[in-house]
Amino acid sequence: MSSPYLSVKNLSREFKAQGRTVRAVDNVSFEIPAGTTFSLVGESGCGKTTLARVIAGLDKPSAGSLNFAAPTGGRVQRTQMIFQDPYASLNPRWRVGDAIAEPITFQNLRPRTEVKQRVEDLLVRVGLAAADTAKFPHEFSGGQRQRVSIARALAGEPSFLVCDEPTSALDVSVQAQILNLLKRLEKEEGLTSLFISHNLAVVRFVSSMIGVMYLGRLVEVAPTAELFAAPRHPYTQLLLEAIPRIGQGRRAVAVPAGELPSPLAPPPGCTFHPRCPAVMDICRREAPALKPVAHGASVACHAVEAASQPIRFMPKAAALGAALSSNLTSGVPA
Amino acid sequence: MMLRFLLGRLANAAVVMVLVSMLSFSLFNFIGDPVSNLVGENATVNERDAMRHALGLDQPLPLQYLKFVGRAVQGEFGVSYRNIEPVSRVIASRLPATLELSLVAAVLALGVGIPMGVYAGLKPRSLLTRGLQVLSLVGISVPSFVTGIILILIFSIYLNWLPSFGRGDTVMLGAWSTGFLSASGWKSLLMPAVTLALFQLTLFMRLTRTQMMEVLRSEYIKFARARGLRERSINYRHALRNTLIPIITVAGLQLGSMIAFSIITETVFQWPGLGLLIIQAISFGDVPVIAAYLLLIALLFVVINTVVDLLYFAVDPRLRAQR
Amino acid sequence: MTTLNASPAPAPLLSVRGLRVQIPTRHGPLLALDDVSFDIARGEILGFVGESGAGKSLTGMAVLGLLDAPAHIAAGEIIFDGKPVHALPASQMRKLRGRRIAAIFQDPLLSLNPLLTVGDQLTETMCTHLPLTSEEARERAIDWLRQVGIPSPAERVDAYPHQFSGGMRQRIVIALALCAEPDLVIADEPTTALDVSVQAQVLELLRTQCRERGTAVLLVTHDMGVISENADRVAVMYAGHIAETGPVDQIVNRPRHPYTRGLMGSIPPVDSDAQWLQQIDGAMPRLASRPTGCAFHPRCAHASAQCVSTQPAPHQEADALVACWHPQQHAPMAEAL
Amino acid sequence: MKTLMLTARRWRHSDLAWSLGRSPEAWISALVLLAYLGMAVLAPLLAPQNPFDLAALDLMDARMPPAWVDGGQLKYLFGTDGQGRDMVSVMLYGLRMSLLVGVASTLLSLVVGVTLGLVAGYVGGRIDNVIMRAADVQLSFPAILVALLIDGLSRTVLPRAVHEQLSLLIVIVAIALANWVQYARTVRGVTMIEKDKDYVNAVRLIGMGRARILFRHVLPNILSPVLVIATLSIGLAVLTEATLSFLGLGVPATSPSLGTLIRLGNEVLFSGEWWITVLPGLLLVGLVLSVNLFGDWLRDALNPRLK
């Protein structure tokens, strides 16, 4: 395991809302080895975007620390970010060429004469045409705009890249193009990156290490293959089961009870206990700490700690055979 | 929740009132040397000092300010230079005229403006709506004094149906002189009220129309249509209710400014209200009246503002019942 | 326009033939839907999948008669329960909506009127279409809230929409759609705005409620997983045209149309590791710049002169209808990657 | 030069030019506005008589009706006013004064309002609170009243002679002070939305300071809403000036504006000389109407949602 490029220790971020303090990010710690992609996955309100903004430096943490190791190969520690909404991540009144050139000129990464050529190279590298420099953002599709954002991020010659749901607003075929592009560029540039998403399939494709977040807390961290092969935390199992599968037809999904509680009033103790099938007394009182288990994974759950080997909280959904044939017999009730 | 909202509004109101009272206090003391007005230009120095002492102007500023506020609270604003009468009595005698005029104008503006706006919002293509839009454009382009003059030209000079100035004969109800009880009162009230209402009326119409069209484009109206609800219910029970909520706040603010607009209308029609009083006070430099008027307008604005907020709170369930 | 094979099954609840929707713009009329034909049987869940701008929601709105002006039906017919409805006067179409054809929209936070209680909105919908006194309607409203899984319905019936979570609100929207007992529900991206755990619950609710009542569903979504687990048959839309229609198992596991195959390939797998996603280069053409012939030909590896010149008519391939001159042999998807 | 060509080309194809051509109200009001501007600028050349050159006035011609009314003379097309001044000339100069004050005060309130709005929106926190509280206090006094108070009080504070020279400046400042809140609030709203947008975050990541981001990135995006308010508020400013002059508090009598002319006319309304007040009134309404018409079109044309 190469030395961690970024290590996050007990990071928290609180907000004042309607007279109450809300801990959007609650005492999170993890490390990202150099040159790898670490993903944070979770549903809305779990704090992954807030955490990403703090790590990128756009927001200050309320507590905890964040330190980058010195990048290898004489590079300078610089962070760049790719955002979710392609329509808000480019200044509508600026030509894309100027937007890409700005990080270069402002941080004078290139002599003035070479800037124009550098911008054109970057555009070609992300799959656009050199002549696009003079165009305005409204002349591009969503997918093309994300390519411009990627080109602008690369222009800043970052050593660390934060991707905040970069493909959630895109259609599937365009998403595939952007994910392939990101994967290729990260390898070529040797970037270390943090990837944020609510889609486990996308996360599986891009990352080497995955952290699952629930209501501001990191409930499970594991290498990608391990997390999908043997999910340990009940919430991770719930997430994996709930994702609709393709090609297996109707499945008897054990639909998890309860609603996602509002971050304004998190339940006491382990915040997942109201929805957990193996809830114990201790779960209602005390929040479990994130403890390492086998194969480089770590999990925060009293039940897992207590049990000797992994527990199957959620029954694996049995495929109900092929989808109903077309002559409309009334289907087996799910 | 409701209490915290109320306290917030009252605190806000207090801040505005303090700021305005400081403004009017500074008017009172630093502008137009009150002493020379009372003592006369060529008074000797010690006569001036005696007067200054009598009026307590030599005391430290904050003390003077507190005494000023103390007196203001009891409605004591000193003596009007122009009418040599206590300011409070001058204002009290003029208040009913302005309030009655503004009330009728407000009813006219709301009663006609909003329904026209609703109609224009519901039927954007109809001929009447186009006509209303042209009318509304003219309405906000014509200054109220020009409207007044044109009305006087037609109805007073040319047709001689209505008096072109004054308030007609009024009846005293205790301290309140009202023009509502006499035919001539109403006849002289008609034109000024229309002049005052026209500007606000067009504003309400345009506002209601835009808001109505906004609501009609919303998702819950589309869902209501998808459920096959009757057009009447969609337009009035669903759309209108959601349109009126934002209108309340703006209507409140606009009615507050109605009082200020009355200045022009009262000047054109020589309507014996506060508007005319303040014009005369300004051109004469009658500082106590100006200062008192300032405080009164600010108080009126703050009261209307708070009432509007409370109304907003009462009507919109999203504010009232927190989850 | 070919006639579909008159399968022995009963007459379809809804049958759409050669539907063409035009949107006049300053650059001339745009063809948003081009010769769209499909059937929905009673109690069947037909999925409509495709990328944004393909025209799937537009089809739903055309069936409901709620096309936003200036879009309008330029040609084709919509037969509902044997009667043509595409040219019905507004007053008659209104009676149909809610009572016979209902709708569910995407964003639960916007679909409910914020100023009326959920009870009011339910009772009004029922009283508009069903002969009920207000007490009966209120009773049914509470029962409906219970059926869609709202806890303590008797108290919550008088609550306002902002007092419910996103998932709960979408359940209320489903109740509102079904409470007038329609035969067909147009569900336009019903769970796109919800989190995955809540999405599973809402889809399961929609499926069971419609199954129990024999209500047919036109399920419009861009999520192939939602289609695969919920739809009986599916139509794949591309640039205002149906590329392929058929039973979900055949379309998902043995797609014939190159676009469907490309679409399936570009979906990141959940249950397996992938190094590279199959990528369809280029992007779906905007309405204003639709290519001649088959709209997919510029991005298709198998395009021929015929594809460029004439638009392929749908023809039978096993149980599916494919609009392509060179449908791919039915090699299962696994090898195709 | 190249960028000018580029922008001109972009303008011709843009939606703005297209919608201008399509809506008659827009290009008619645009033409009328240009005509007004031309009349105002060329007033000295167009006016048959210099109303301020007392020698040229002939008291005998005072209060003469317009040419088409019996008793009128062709020499004074619109008749003459109480001091024998030719109505056409005095109205042209009046228009010039009204436009001058209207545009000047709008520009002043624009600069003040936009700057305060930007700072309040971008910086937020206490400064935002202070500015918005000031706006609240300001809002409690409608524009006319604020202008009135400032103008009136300056009349009592400054000695008469000084007041005469400065009165033009005072009126402009008074109207500007009354209208800045509109700009401040709109700009604050737009700035608060834009500053959270990702393109601002992207620039913050390369270490650019807040002020530079404000002017390089946020400012260009608030121009179109500001432009719309500016157009509409010119009409309002002209109206406010006319009202002040009508109440006798506006521009000095030596250089009358349309409002002053209307006031002078109003004093003689009852003795039958209706044209002295009606004609300047119509000119004023025509100006404000075309400004509002053009402003309405501009707002719809620039409104992204309606496009």
Nearest Cα residue to B206 out of B143, B105, B134: B134
- Containing D193, the helix (H) or strand (E) segment is helix D160-195
Q: Please give the residue that has the higher pLDDT: either B298 or C108.
A: C108
For the ranges A5-14, A86-95, D36-45, the lowest mean pLDDT is seen at D36-45
Contacts of A328 (CB under 8 A, 6+ apart): C9, C41, C42, C43, C44, C232
Is the per-residue pLDDT at B33 higher than 70? no
- Residues from chain C contacting residue B238 (CB–CB below 8 Å): 113, 116
Q: Give the residue with greater pLDDT, B45 vs B269.
A: B269
Q: Which of B27, B138, B261 sits opposite D144 (nearest CB)?
A: B261
Name the residue with higher pLDDT: C254 or D151. C254
Give a three-class secondary structure readout of chain C: CCCCCCCCCCCCCEEEEEEEEEEEECCEEEEEEEEEEEEECCCCEEEEECCCCCCHHHHHHHHHCCCCCCCEEEEEEEEECCEECCCCCHHHHHHHECCCEEEECCCHHHHCCCCCCHHHHHHHHHHHHCCCCHHHHHHHHHHHHHHCCCCCHHHHCCCCHHHCCHHHHHHHHHHHHHCCCCCEEEEECCCCCCCHHHHHHHHHHHHHHHHHHCCEEEEEECCHHHHHHHCCEEEEEECCEEEEEEEHHHHHHCCCCHHHHHHHHCCCCCCCCCCCCCCCCCCCCCHHHCCCCCCCHHHCCCCCHHHHHCCCCCEEECCEEECCCCCCCCCCHHHHC
Residues of D with CB under 8 A from a CB of A: 197-199, 201-208, 217, 220-221
Distance between CA B305 and CA D256 in Å, rounded? 38
- Quote ipTM for the complex: 0.85
Q: Provide, as residue numbers in chain B, all residues whose Cβ is less than 8 Å from the Cβ of C113.
A: 220, 224, 238, 242
C319: closest chain A residue by CA:
A326
The sign one gets for the Cα dihedral D3, D8, D12, D18 is positive
Residue D182 near residue D237, CB atoms below 8 Å: no
What is the average pLDDT across D82-95?
A: 83
Please check whether residue A252 touches C, CB under 8 A. Answer: no
Continuous segment of H or E residues that includes residue A25: strand A20-33
Rounded Cα distance between C278 and A173, Å, is 9
Tokens of D196: 């959270």
Q: How far apart are alpha carbons D202 and D142 in whole angstroms? A: 41
CA dist., res. C254 & res. C327, Å (int): 11
With bands split at pLDDT 50, 70 and 90, how would you rate the model's confidence at B323? very low
Out of D206, D208, D217, name the one closest to residue A91 (CB): D217
> Is a pLDDT exceeding 60 seen at residue A322?
no
Q: Percentage of chain A surpassing pLDDT 70?
A: 91
Chain D residue with CA closest to A82: the answer is D202
Looking at the predicted structure, is the pLDDT value of residue B234 above 70?
Answer: yes
> How close is the nearest chain A Cα to the Cα of D55, in Å?
57
- Tell me if residue A63 falls in helix, strand or coil: strand
C-facing residues of A in 257-296 (CB < 8 A) are 259-260, 262
Which of C9, C230, C263 has the CB atom closest to A173's CB atom? C263
Average pLDDT over residues B237-265: 83
For residue A177, pLDDT beyond 90 = yes
When pLDDT is cut at 50, 70 and 90, the band that residue A328 belongs to is very low
Q: Are C36 and C241 contacting, i.e. CB atoms less than 8 angstroms apart?
A: yes
CA distance C267 to C48: 17
Q: Using the predicted structure, report yes or no on whether residue C108 has a pLDDT greater than 50.
A: yes
* Alpha helices by DSSP H, D247-302: 258-267, 275-302
D145 against A284, higher pLDDT: A284
Between D291 and B35, residue with greater pLDDT: D291
Q: Which pLDDT band, with edges at 50, 70 and 90, does D12 fall under?
A: low
What's the pLDDT at A81? 95
Q: Which two tokens stand for residue A73?
A: 């190969």
DSSP bridge partners of A60: none
| Mean pLDDT, residues C73-99 taken together | 91
pLDDT of residue A333: 31
* Closest CA relative to residue D139, chosen from D188, D172, D101, D177: D177
Contact C211 A243 (CB under 8 A): no
Give pTM, 2 decimals: 0.85
Least Cα distance to D231 among D102, D126, D51, D143 occurs for D102
Residue C33: pLDDT band (50, 70, 90) is very high
Looking at residues C145-167, what average pLDDT do you find? 91
Say what the pLDDT of residue B29 is. Answer: 65
Q: Is the pLDDT of residue D10 over 90?
A: no
N-to-C CA span, chain C: 33
Q: Decide which of D213 and B47 is more confident.
A: D213
Nearest residue on chain C to A256, alpha-carbon basis: C197
- C 307-326 residues inside an 8 A Cβ radius of A: 319
Quote the mean pLDDT of chain D: 82
Pairing verdict, β C216-221 and A79-82: unpaired
Cis peptide before C70 (omega within 30 of 0): yes
Q: Please, are residues A319 and A251 in contact by the beta-carbon 8 Å criterion? A: yes
Phi-psi sector, B126: left (phi>0), alpha (psi -120 to 50), beta: beta
Residue D11 pLDDT class (50, 70, 90 cuts):
low
Kindly report the backbone phi and psi dihedral angles of residue B176, in degrees, each rounded to the nearest multiple of 5, phi listed first. Answer: -100, 115
Cα–Cα distance measured from residue D229 to residue D295, given in angstroms and rounded to the nearest whole number: 8
When pLDDT is averaged across residues C260-281 and rounded to a whole number, the result is 88
Ranked by mean pLDDT, the top range of A118-122, A294-298, C264-268, D223-227 is: A118-122
Number of other CB atoms surrounding residue B10 within 10 Å: 12
Least confident of A133-137, C171-175, D189-193, D264-268: D264-268
Task: Let me know: does B308 contact B252? Beta carbons within 8 Å.
Answer: yes
Q: Which amino acid is at B9?
A: R
Q: Could A89 and D217 be called an inter-chain contact, meaning their C-beta atoms sit closer than 8 Å?
A: no
Q: Do D284 and B256 touch (CB under 8 A)?
A: no
CA distance D299 to D25: 13
Contact C80, C100 (CB under 8 A): yes
Rg, Å, chain C Cα set: 21
**Shortest Cα distance from B20 to chain C (angstroms)?**
37
For residue A272, pLDDT beyond 60: yes
Instruction: Say which residues have a Cβ less than 8 Å from residue D111's Cβ, sequence separation at least 6.
Output: none
Q: Please give the span between the terminal C-alpha atoms of chain D, in angstroms, as a whole number.
A: 30
Within a 13 Å sphere around the CA of C186, how many CA atoms are in the beta-carbon half?
A: 24
List the single residue in B146, B283, B297 with the smallest CB-CB distance to D248: B283
Instruction: Find all residues with CB under 8 Å of D1, minimum gap 6, and list them.
Output: none
Closest CA relative to residue A154, chosen from A186, A178, A112 = A186
Contacts of A148 in chain D (CB under 8 A): none
Among A141, A202, A330, the residue with its CB nearest the CB of C268 is: A202
Q: What pLDDT, on a 0 to 100 scale, did the predictor assign at position B42?
A: 65
Give the span between the Cα atoms of C290 and C35, in whole angstroms: 14
For residue D214 the two structure tokens come to 């404000």
Note the pLDDT of residue B117: 92
**Residues of B whose CB is below 8 A from C159:** 321
* A314–chain C Cβ distance below 8 A for any pair: no
Average pLDDT of chain A is: 86
The contact set of B with C (CB < 8 A) is 218-220, 222-231, 233, 237-238, 241-242, 245, 316-318, 321, 323
| All partners of chain B with 3 or more CB pairs under 8 angstroms | C, D
Say if residue C138's pLDDT is above 90: yes
Q: How far apart are CA D246 and CA D17, in angstroms?
A: 39
State residue A166's pLDDT score.
Answer: 94
Reply yes or no on whether the pLDDT at A243 is more than 80: yes
What secondary structure letter does DSSP report for A266? Answer: P
Taking contacts as CB-CB distances below 8 angstroms, the residues of chain C near B321 are 159-160, 163
Write down the number of H helices and E strands in chain D. Answer: 13, 0
Structure tokens at B283: 């051109």
CA distance C117 to C164: 11
Which chain C residue's Cα is nearest to B239?
Answer: C113
User: Which DSSP string corresponds to D85-106?
Assistant: -BHHHHHHHHHHHHHHHHHHHH
Q: How far apart are CA B87 and CA B289, in angstroms?
A: 6
